Amino acid sequence: MAATTTLRQFRWWDIEKVRRIEEDLFPEDPWSAEMFWSELADVPHSRYYVVAEVETPDGDREIAGYAGLMSQAGAAATVEGWVQNIAVARDHQGKGLGAVLLEALLEEAARRNCAEVWLEVRTDNDPAQRLYTRYGFESAGIRRGYYQPGNHDALIMRKAMA
């Protein structure tokens, strides 16, 4: 992680900035502010959310990415984690920030004793699939028409935690 990049907890006052990135990256089906509010309401019980901040040229900090994990705290014998979302603003992609965010989710999944972590990704999203494969996620099936309204298929991926 570059020295100027920091990870911190995603707070409610970040939602507006995160929504701008969300609208840009997922124009067909962005998460609404209400969806983010609802996710953050379950932190830390069944959710874990972080933002990545980078330093701007004028010395301020701006949100460059965000990611969230769902994991029900442990009644079941096998605890599952789900990557809820992971996104890096267009200007900051391709510099390893996605990897930093994914690592943070996987570290939290390990702390929560997840035996496996799952995610869905559009079948045509090569950069994201490359990232997930690099971290040990394997294909576990296809959900046809999962992403609406665009009717795109989802690839389900699974990673067994050591």
Ligand X SMILES: CC(C)(COP(=O)(O)OP(=O)(O)OC[C@H]1O[C@@H](n2cnc3c(N)ncnc32)[C@H](O)[C@@H]1OP(=O)(O)O)[C@@H](O)C(=O)NCCC(=O)NCCS
In contact, 100 and 7? CB cutoff 8 Å: yes
Catalytic residue among 62, 103, 132, 135: 132
d(CA 133, CA 128): 9
Query: Which residue's Cβ lies closest to ligand X?
Result: 98
Residue 48 bears catalytic tag = no
Q: Per CB under 6 A, which region of 6-14, 39-47, 89-97, 108-116 contacts ligand X?
A: 89-97
d(CA 15, CA 106): 23
d(CA 106, CA 158): 12
Catalytic residue among 22, 39, 53, 120: 120
Q: How far is the CB of 79 from ligand X (least distance, A)?
A: 21
Cβ proximity to ligand X: between 44 and 127 the closer is 127
d(CA 103, CA 50): 11
Q: Per CB under 6 A, which region of 2-10, 36-44, 70-78, 94-102 contacts ligand X?
A: 94-102
Site for ligand X in 2-61 (CB under 6 A): 25
Q: How far is the CB of 64 from ligand X (least distance, A)?
A: 8
1 alpha carbon, distance to own chain's centre: 17
Structure tokens at 104: 């943070």
Question: According to the binding rule CB under 6 A, does residue 127 interact with ligand X?
Answer: yes
> Which of 121, 137, 155, 159 is in the footprint of ligand X by CB under 6 A?
121
Neighbouring CB atoms inside 10 A of 57's CB total 5
Structure tokens at 43: 């932190």
Residue 120 bears catalytic tag = yes
- For residue 44, is the peptide bond before it cis, meaning its omega torsion is within 30 degrees of 0? yes
> Which of 79, 98, 114, 117 is in the footprint of ligand X by CB under 6 A?
98
Q: How far is the CB of 87 from ligand X (least distance, A)?
A: 4
Q: Supply the residues annotated as catalytic.
A: 120, 132
